């Protein structure tokens, strides 16, 4: 089943509560929340308080993406924020196993994100600890990036690996996803679709979600 996860960072924070309500009305599955520290990536976003505030006004799954250096230093505050899924970047830490165990131990689903240049084989010792792999389809933390078509093979290879392992691991795609490339990422195996500006500028959001969920 295809799950749609609009990135709230692409919305309008002056009407955050209203925008979250629009996500619910549109029929999306997740609220994707990008936490950026200005170090691991250039952009700076916000902290755990915003996650807690969003949690107060929605029953949607909160998909929290930590684009921060050494997330082990502050993982506790995000575990206590109401996040349903926490994704760490493979490149951001050396404490992968420990972090994934901490996240799972708190009853939160685990995710690992891979930058475009990071190969899939870095996950070989982590699959048992992962609920979701997020493939970055553009360079993270920068505005105006283009979709990288070369990531389609990476997504397909990941799907083949998951089938081989017989594990229920979701494949998320994140980065410059729009109505022009979304069919391709779904075709090669992605089932959780992070979409930003393309969602918030759509005139008919419920119609967009309806159509995206039925793509094959």
Residues acting as catalytic residues: 34, 174
Phi, psi (degrees; rounded to nearest 5) at 19: -70, -40
Q: Is 148 strand, coil or helix?
A: coil
**Best CA proximity match to 212, nearest among 183, 189, 190:** 183
CB contact at 8 A, 151 and 119: no
Residue 40 to residues 36, 149, 163, 203, Cα–Cα distance (Å)? 7, 24, 32, 34
**Best CA proximity match to 184, nearest among 138, 214, 216:** 216
């Amino acid at each position: 089943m295809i799950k749609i996860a609009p990135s709230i960072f692409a919305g309008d924070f002056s009407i955050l509560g209203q925008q979250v309500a629009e996500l619910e009305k549109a029929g999306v599955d997740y609220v994707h929340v990008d936490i950026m520290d200005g170090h691991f990536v250039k952009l700076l976003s916000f902290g755990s308080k915003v996650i807690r505030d969003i949690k107060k006004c929605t029953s949607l799954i909160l998909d929290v993406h930590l684009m921060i250096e050494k997330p082990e230093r502050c993982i506790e505050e995000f575990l206590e924020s109401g996040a349903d899924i926490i994704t760490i970047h493979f490149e951001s830490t050396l404490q992968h196993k420990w972090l994934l165990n901490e996240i799972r131990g708190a009853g939160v689903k685990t995710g690992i994100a891979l930058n475009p240049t990071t190969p899939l084989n870095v996950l070989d010792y982590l699959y048992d600890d992962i609920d979701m792999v997020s493939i970055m389809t553009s360079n993270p933390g920068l505005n105006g990036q283009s979709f990288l078509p070369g990531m389609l093979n990476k997504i397909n290879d990941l799907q083949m690996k998951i089938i081989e392992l017989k594990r229920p691991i979701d494949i998320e795609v994140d980065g410059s996803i729009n109505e022009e490339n979304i069919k391709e990422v779904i075709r090669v195996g992605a089932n959780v679709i992070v979409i930003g500006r393309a969602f918030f500028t759509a005139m008919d959001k419920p119609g967009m979600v309806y159509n995206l969920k039925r793509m094959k």
